[in-house]
Amino acid sequence: MPTDFALTRRQFDLPEGVIYLDGNSLGPLPKAVAERVGQTITEEWGKLLIGGWNKAGWEAMPMAVGNRVARLIGAEPDSVVMGDTLSIKIFQLLASALEMRPDRRVILSDTGNFPSDLYMAQGLSAMLGQGYSLRTVAPEEVMEAIDDSVAVTMITEVDYRTGRKHDMRAITARAHEKGALTIWDLAHSAGALPVDLAGSGADFAAGCTYKYLNSGPGGPAFAYVAPRHQSRVRPALCGWLGHDAPFDFDPDYRPAPGVARLRVGTPPVLQLAALEASLDIWETVDMGDLRARALELTDAFIAGVEAACPDLKLATPRDHAMRGSQVSFRHPEGYAIMQALIARGVVGDFRAPDILRFGFTPLFIGPEDVEKAVSVLAEVMATRAWDRAEYRVRARVT
Amino acid sequence: MPTDFALTRRQFDLPEGVIYLDGNSLGPLPKAVAERVGQTITEEWGKLLIGGWNKAGWEAMPMAVGNRVARLIGAEPDSVVMGDTLSIKIFQLLASALEMRPDRRVILSDTGNFPSDLYMAQGLSAMLGQGYSLRTVAPEEVMEAIDDSVAVTMITEVDYRTGRKHDMRAITARAHEKGALTIWDLAHSAGALPVDLAGSGADFAAGCTYKYLNSGPGGPAFAYVAPRHQSRVRPALCGWLGHDAPFDFDPDYRPAPGVARLRVGTPPVLQLAALEASLDIWETVDMGDLRARALELTDAFIAGVEAACPDLKLATPRDHAMRGSQVSFRHPEGYAIMQALIARGVVGDFRAPDILRFGFTPLFIGPEDVEKAVSVLAEVMATRAWDRAEYRVRARVT
């Protein structure tokens, strides 16, 4: 049965009069979240108290929820664990990968990667010393740059600014050919498009859940380790809940079997409960349907904007194979233009220096939203409605 | 005005018929939490969407909430930041401390420290190589063990099993005399007793909020850096929200001024909202009053149990100066005894191999609870009510 996107849309609370094209930054509120989190608070925490760890299954949540996320990213059962933040998970995977390639010193990434990933690699390299370094190349040069010096590639599949999508299968194959490992950041992939970690032969991956997976502000991250590596990974951040027997209170660390060893401290139960409610919506979604719909929406938006707004330059690839689920345009006054749009109920966001970013998330965005967004944007551009001092005041976070 | 502990007690939802002496593991539910978190979900996330980061102050929460926690632990303004888990914060502080003492290789801790702290130190040492190591000594030998080889002491002020309390001021002074830095784990101190980080001259500290601070399962941790060190710390986990200008998306890491540089990824807004509601209760609490009440409660419990249960051996120091806010007794059948107590509504917990642990948290535990708990324990011991097979079945988490 084809995915019913009218049904999925009805499962979100969307403010009246807003076309929300920023689900790629923070997904909107699923209707079921408030009740689910409320129940976790009053029925579980309130009544079970410490007993909630067993009786309400809190202790098992990182792996149980991980298995639900696994389906959406083509991961094998019991190969995904939830917790912490994406940056923390990247650090753990990087440290593990470097330990598995002790004769190599290079972390390869691209200049389109999200800065936090680059910072984590810089921090790790600085701490390790011994010649470790982060090398970044332009996104289109990644394939060529993978050589025998590379220990691990650390690539975000979909560029957070341009929406450009890497070829996971090809890069992974190239890395393996050269003896390197791969870490895939799925921040703009999980819930945005079909991901096939197992089929691509990926070694490691991580992602966040507060974007396309709609888990809310500060929702937990996930980490993936290919089954073939799980018994070899020794995470640098060796927390007690990643221990083989946490409640033995052994003075020496001994990793848990499997990906659970990437657990660190106490899992954020309230945020996990919100994610669980959000994941219920995904149970009815076929990723192939989602992808077809996202391409239809992004195609329509590109065509509409290009026809109506000649001053906006497309930053996103036209080639479907190279496109995520967002569309970006460049304009020197991008910041002010976005503020004018937001003031008119079309919410995208701005990324320095000149990117207007629009996320297309089929769970709650449809063709009529695209049409409306194009017409508002066309009006803003045609009338130079953005050219007002108030739209140039930069807020700290956009 | 003296603290009104009847008033604080009324601000918690406590199940009928339960005497909850496990607030040192997971604090109970403050009545205000459900509404506060519900509002964050429906009014902030639901209506402001991405705008919540600015308009609802989510972005500022790690520092704003940190300043509220600061008052409870004697920290200077703007020296505490919230986020991640205690283990993660210990790792960041350890890595920073080692970098500040480049000619030293030893992390000194004690065998009573919580295993996760020891594991983090083991993981860090293994990753750094170069002769770094964790040295553990018995709690009473810490002072003597601080010598010129020690880069940093990593001590949990109150022992999670015995409730034995270290002398923060004396150990810090000794460490400084020997040129070492200090990291204090306040897991069983924050909200349990007066802590004077500034007055003690402590260098670094970290703690969790889901115990005595009642923030709920998976509540965020806090980290403290003394003002004199804040501009020198380069955290190993360099996340984008610890960057000087996160929204510049600079490809190179440059730490934020102050303790905010210990931020890593997106803060857990729902868990922080729960903590905020819980901290409101603390606004009416004087830490001196809290301490006096806790000593009164623990004294009474010790006296009552020792009089009625000769088979239970006190594991907690009698000396007030060496006691936290919990009382522990040893018994070879401790696990079964605790299960029998829990079945009768007296909820403490068990820590291997033989510790029965009882937390006394004056915000919601009073003298009448102590009396009742003593009488139930006395009955269980006198009748050997614990001696049943069902009480020996070990749950995964206790």
CATH number at residue B322: 3.90.1150.10
Q: Is residue B398 part of a domain?
A: no
Instruction: Classify B80 as helix, strand or coil.
Output: strand
Q: What is the pLDDT of residue A208?
A: 98
Reply yes or no on whether the pLDDT at B1 is more than 90.
Answer: no
Same domain, residue pair A248 and A332: no
Q: What is the CATH number of the domain that holds A114?
A: 3.40.640.10
Same domain, residue pair B260 and B297: no
Is the ipTM value over 0.95, yes or no? yes
Which amino acid does the sequence have at B222?
F
Query: Who among A34, A86, A247 is closest to B42 (CB)?
Result: A34
**Assigned token pair, B317:** 């120091």
Q: What average pLDDT score do residues B247-275 get?
A: 96
Q: How many whole angstroms separate alpha carbon A8 and alpha carbon A11?
A: 5
Q: What is the pLDDT of residue B283?
A: 95
Asked if A251 lies within 8 A of B136 by C-beta distance, the reply is yes
Asked if B265 lies within 8 A of A116 by C-beta distance, the reply is yes
Query: Who among A264, A270, A395 is closest to B270 (CB)?
Result: A270
Q: Beta partners for A133? A: A106
CB contact at 8 A, A89 and A221: yes
A vs B: CB pairs below 8 A: 281
Q: What average pLDDT score do residues B21-46 get?
A: 98
Burial (CB count within 10 angstroms: exposed 0-12, middle 13-18, buried 19+), residue A148:
exposed
CB contact at 8 A, B39 and A35: no
Q: What is the pLDDT of residue B398?
A: 43
* Residue of A26, A270, A271 best to disrupt the B interface, most CBs of B under 10 A: A270
| Nearest residue on chain A to B127, alpha-carbon basis | A236
Among A229, A259, A282, identify where a domain stops: A282
Q: How many whole angstroms separate alpha carbon B260 and alpha carbon B264?
A: 9
Q: How many whole angstroms separate alpha carbon A213 and alpha carbon A187?
A: 10
Q: Beta partners for A155? A: A184
Query: Who among A41, A120, A253 is closest to B237 (CB)?
Result: A120
Q: How many whole angstroms separate alpha carbon A55 and alpha carbon A25?
A: 34
Q: Is residue A265 part of a domain?
A: yes
Same domain, residue pair B110 and B123: yes
Q: Provide the shortest C-alpha distance from residue B1 to chain A (in Å).
A: 30
Is the torsion defined by CA of B238, B239, B241, B247 positive or negative? positive
Q: Is residue A398 part of a domain?
A: no
Q: What is the pLDDT of residue A395?
A: 66
Q: Cα dist. B213→A233, B79, B181, B274 in Å?
A: 35, 18, 27, 11
Q: Is residue A230 part of a domain?
A: yes
Q: Tell me the chain B residues in contact with residue A219 when contact means C-beta distances shorter than 8 Å.
A: 268
Q: Is residue B167 part of a domain?
A: yes
* Residue of A249, A342, A365 best to disrupt the B interface, most CBs of B under 10 A: A249
Asked if B217 lies within 8 A of A266 by C-beta distance, the reply is yes
Tally: H helices and E strands in chain A? 14, 15
Q: Tell me the chain B residues in contact with residue A348 when contact means C-beta distances shorter than 8 Å.
A: none
pLDDT lower than 70: segments of chain A:
395-398
| Nearest residue on chain B to A125, alpha-carbon basis | B236
Q: Cα dist. A65→A79, A222, A224 in Å?
A: 11, 9, 13
Same domain, residue pair B168 and B48: yes
Q: How many whole angstroms separate alpha carbon B184 and alpha carbon B192?
A: 15
Q: Is residue A397 part of a domain?
A: no
**Assigned token pair, A88:** 């923390």
Q: Provide the shortest C-alpha distance from residue B341 to chain A (in Å).
A: 14
Asked if B37 lies within 8 A of A42 by C-beta distance, the reply is no
Q: Beta partners for B155? A: B184
Q: Using alpha carbons, select from B220, B217, B241, B142 the residue that is nearest to residue B183.
A: B142
ω into B353 cis (within 30 of 0):
yes
Q: How many whole angstroms separate alpha carbon B335 and alpha carbon B353?
A: 9
Instruction: Classify A121 as helix, strand or coil.
Output: helix
- Residues of A that are catalytic: 114, 185, 210-211, 357
Reply yes or no on whether the pLDDT at B397 is more than 60.
Answer: no
Asked if B41 lies within 8 A of A34 by C-beta distance, the reply is yes
CA-atom Rg of chain B in angstroms: 22
Same domain, residue pair A46 and A190: yes
Q: Is residue A111 part of a domain?
A: yes
Query: Who among B116, B217, B253 is closest to A239 (CB)?
Result: B116
**Structural domain total, chain B:** 2
Where helices occur in B41-85 by DSSP H, the ranges are 46-48, 52-55, 61-72
| Nearest residue on chain B to A102, alpha-carbon basis | B127
Same domain, residue pair A256 and A164: yes
Same domain, residue pair B238 and B376: no
Instruction: Classify A112 as helix, strand or coil.
Output: coil
Q: Tell me the chain B residues in contact with residue A234 when contact means C-beta distances shorter than 8 Å.
A: 123, 126
Instruction: Classify B327 as helix, strand or coil.
Output: strand
Q: How many whole angstroms separate alpha carbon A128 and alpha carbon A151?
A: 14
Same domain, residue pair A254 and A108: yes
End-to-end CA distance of chain A: 39
pTM: 0.97
Mode of pairing for the β-strands spanning B204-207 and B222-225 = antiparallel
Asked if A38 lies within 8 A of B33 by C-beta distance, the reply is no
**Assigned token pair, B90:** 């210990």
CB contact at 8 A, B92 and B237: yes
Asked if A216 lies within 8 A of B47 by C-beta distance, the reply is no
Q: For B59-84, what is each residue's pLDDT tens digit?
A: 999 999 999 999 999 999 999 999 99
**Assigned token pair, B100:** 């500040």
Asked if B50 lies within 8 A of A238 by C-beta distance, the reply is no
Query: Which domain covers residue B205, as residue numbers?
Result: 34-282
**Kind and range of the H or E run holding A153:** strand A150-156
Q: Provide the shortest C-alpha distance from residue B336 to chain A (in Å).
A: 16
Same domain, residue pair A265 and A304: no
Mode of pairing for the β-strands spanning B133-137 and B106-110 = parallel
Among A255, A282, A309, identify where a domain stops: A282
Among B257, B282, B307, identify where a domain stops: B282
Cα A319 from chain centre: 21
**Assigned token pair, B143:** 């002072």
Q: How many whole angstroms separate alpha carbon A58 and alpha carbon B25?
A: 14
Q: Using alpha carbons, select from B204, B246, B235, B252 the residue that is nearest to residue B107.
A: B204
Q: Is residue B233 part of a domain?
A: yes
Q: Tell me the chain B residues in contact with residue A398 when contact means C-beta distances shorter than 8 Å.
A: 247
Same domain, residue pair B115 and B39: yes
Same domain, residue pair A331 and A379: yes
Where in B61-203 does DSSP place strands (E)?
80-82, 106-110, 133-137, 150-156, 181-185
Same domain, residue pair A308 and A240: no
CB contact at 8 A, B224 and B197: yes
Q: Tell me the chain A residues in contact with residue B274 when contact means C-beta distances shorter than 8 Å.
A: 41, 270
ω into A353 cis (within 30 of 0):
yes
CB contact at 8 A, A216 and A274: yes
